[in-house]
Chain A
Amino acid sequence: GAVVSQHPSWVICKSGTSVKIECRSLDFQATTMFWYRQFPKQSLMLMATSNEGSKATYEQGVEKDKFLINHASLTLSTLTVTSAHPEDSSFYICSAPFSGTAGNTIYFGEGSWLTVV
């Protein structure tokens, strides 16, 4: 079945550095992918829509210069957290829609834990 994979699963970085998280659709193409953020014991909040070959669309309140999104191919979107600070520590998870004979489903990656120290 359709699978979405994220890498890395866990990352610890120093304050002020940048971290890149990858989201791949493994056996299907995704012209659009979505990035969410989840704080402990909370729900998922949509950060941005990643569009293949064009600029990402950010949700209100999300800093586009801080959370850089690049969707360079039909199977890969990347989220770069620039100049990370401890308050950026969170669980980041991506999703990709898949249209098959059974209908339209949306699959999620395994998520990436970011800890900024």
Chain B
Amino acid sequence: GEDVEQSLFLSVREGDSSVINCTYTDSSSTYLYWYKQEPGAGLQLLTYIFSNMDMKQDQRLTVLLNKKDKHLSLRIADTQTGDSAIYFCAERTGGGNKLTFGTGTQLKVEL
């Protein structure tokens, strides 16, 4: 079955890089997504990566995908206090558009 795991909490200092990790079990994942959720709000799509890619960079965000180890990471460069939120990874499998979400990682950025 599908199982997506994330560490629950990450604390970094402002200006440092943050790395949020995610592991998944379904090798048939086609797309993998990163979403940001601020308190009381919906999900904001940050970035996504197709399963045949190893890396994708978008401004301060870098996504790394290790398909062999089923490991996905999101690196946020120059982390700011506004980046404090919960970050969810999600995998899309098969031909449908259902997503299986990770447990979420709460990122806290300290001054």
A: residues with CB less than 8 A from B are: 6, 32, 34, 42-44, 46, 49, 93, 95, 97, 103-111, 113
In whole angstroms, what is the CA distance A26 to B73 when docked? 31
In whole angstroms, what is the CA distance A95 to B42 when docked? 10
Given A105-B45, A108-B45, A110-B41, the answer on whether A43 and B31 have CB atoms closer than 8 Å is no
Say how far B106's CB is from chain A's closest CB, in angstroms.
Answer: 9
Total number of B residues with any Cβ neighbor in A under 8 Å: 22
Say if the beta carbon of B33 comes within 8 Å of chain A: yes
Q: Return the CB mask of B49-85 against A: 1 if under 8 Å, else 0.
A: 0100000000000000000000000000000000000
Say how far A68's CB is from chain B's closest CB, in angstroms.
Answer: 20
In whole angstroms, what is the CA distance A97 to B104 when docked? 21
Contacts of A107 in B (CB 8 A): 45
Closest to A10 in B: B40
Q: Is the CB of A46 within 8 A of B98?
A: yes
Q: Is the CB of B101 within 8 A of A105?
A: no
Q: By CB atoms of chain A within 10 A, which of B42, B44, B50 has the most?
A: B42
